[in-house]
Amino acid sequence: MTALLDLLPLIAFFIASKKFGLLAGAAAVLAATLIVYGIHLVRQKWRLTKQQWVVLVLTILFCGATILLRDDLYLRWKTPIINLSFALALAVSALIGKPLMQPVAKDVFRFSPQGWQRLTYAWAAFFLLLAALHYWFGLYHYDASEQAKNLFIHFKSYGQLILMGIFLAAQAFVLRKHLKTEAQAPAESEPPEQPSKP
């Protein structure tokens, strides 16, 4: 449910940007994000995760600046900075021995401490790649042409989702030996049966 809700700002951005331009896209992202995070607040008993706070605050800042100053440069900086923030947070957490992927994926994978560290570094590298690609399409390779705008809109709307799907599928395949099964879960949490007394 949370993942589906988080797609709404991207859908709103794509529709508004294609029909009315990037300034309208920024307004659509901001409005959709406020609605979605309002729903998250209610569903999560008035609490947001650190990741959600980062996304919410940066979206308000960059989309707000885009609308107020009527300059889509701020919108194009938003996603590279968000992804770079995630990459840095993940890399630092692995470096100090508190890998952030462990609490997130502990119900899916079984790893040694070194394994959790490697998985967290892998996700940090993936978010760094996303930041670089968003920088390429939104800033380095961006100009006022319709082709550049369309490339940016399409990559921001669904290009990153395709890459995320490929990364998750590859991760599940490569790490399939570490996946938890239904049979393993109770074995970890339940004590062994005591032999019955005669």
- pLDDT given for residue 2 in this prediction: 75
Helix, strand, or coil here: 192?
coil
With residue 174 as reference, give the H or E element that holds it. Answer: helix 160-174
Question: Is residue 97 left, alpha or beta, with left meaning phi > 0 and alpha meaning psi from -120 to 50?
Answer: left
Amino acid 37: pLDDT: 95
Helix %, strand %, coil % for the chain, to 5?
A: 80, 0, 20
Would you state the pLDDT for residue 107? 85
The tokens describing 75, both together, are 């919108």
pLDDT in tens, the chain (198 residues): 677 888 999 999 999 999 999 999 999 999 999 999 999 999 999 999 999 999 999 999 999 999 999 999 999 999 999 999 999 999 999 999 999 999 988 888 999 999 999 999 999 999 999 999 999 999 998 887 889 999 999 999 999 999 999 999 999 999 999 888 754 544 444 444 444 444
How far is residue 16's CA from residue 22's CA, in Å, rounded to a whole number?
Answer: 8
Provide the residue ranges of all domains of the chain, joining segments of one domain with +: 1-70, 72-185
Q: What is the pTM of this model?
A: 0.84
**Sign of the torsion formed by the C-alpha atoms of 12, 18, 24 and 25:** positive
User: In the structure encoding, which two tokens stand for residue 125, read together?
Assistant: 């590298």
b/e string for 8-34 if b means 16 or more Cβ within 10 A? bbbebbbebbeeeebbbbbbbbbebbe
Chain mean position to CA 168: 12
Label each residue of 124-152 as H, E or C. Answer: HHHHHHHHHHHHHHHHHCCCCCHHHHHHH
d(CA 180, CA 131) in angstroms, rounded, equals: 31
The one-letter amino acid code at 22 reads L
Distance (Å, whole) CA 14 – CA 22: 9
The answer to whether 24 touches 51, Cβ cutoff 8 Å, is no
Distance CA(8)–CA(38), nearest Å, equals: 13
- Say if CB 127 and CB 51 are below 8 A apart: no
